[in-house]
Amino acid sequence: MATEVINIHSVDEWTNQLAQAKQHGKLVVVDFTATWCGPCRFISPVFAGLAKMKSHIIFLKVDVDEMGSISQEFKVEAMPTFVFIKDETVIDRIVGANKDDLQKKVELHGESSSVSA
């Protein structure tokens, strides 16, 4: 089943997605982005493509201007920043629009969550 990237527009949505992921033992990959960010626009289709291929992983997109409190909580200082979360704990992060790094880390961290999914 193909999945889509879920855009987060409220703290409640964010909390709900993390709770569901923890309950089902799923990896969450968060794209902290901004509408004005060129590299973010470049990497966005790559992120969406990964979401379609990896249905056992939850892919979230957080606009840093819209959801500043979440961005601050995760100490996001540059866009894009990708944060990998498992059991509500940050296990990895990538700063910058590095397609190869993003694909490798999704593979690396996604393998362990596909076993329990």
Give the pLDDT confidence of 28-73 residue by residue, as tens digits: 999 999 999 999 999 999 999 999 999 999 999 999 999 999 999 9
What does pTM read for this prediction?
0.93
- Amino acid in position 32: F
pLDDT of 116 > 50? The answer is no
pLDDT of 22 > 50? The answer is yes
Structure tokens at 37: 């960010």
With b for 16 or more beta-carbon neighbours within 10 A and e for fewer, the 34-59 pattern comes to beebeebeebbebbeebbeebebbbb
**30 in catalytic set:** no
Q: Which of 8, 18, 37, 60 does the annotation list as catalytic? A: 37
Looking at domain 6-116, which of 3.30.56.10, 3.40.50.300, 3.40.50.1360, 3.40.30.10 is its CATH number?
3.40.30.10
Write down the pLDDT at residue 3: 73
**83 in catalytic set:** no
Q: Which of 40, 60, 64, 85 does the annotation list as catalytic? A: 40
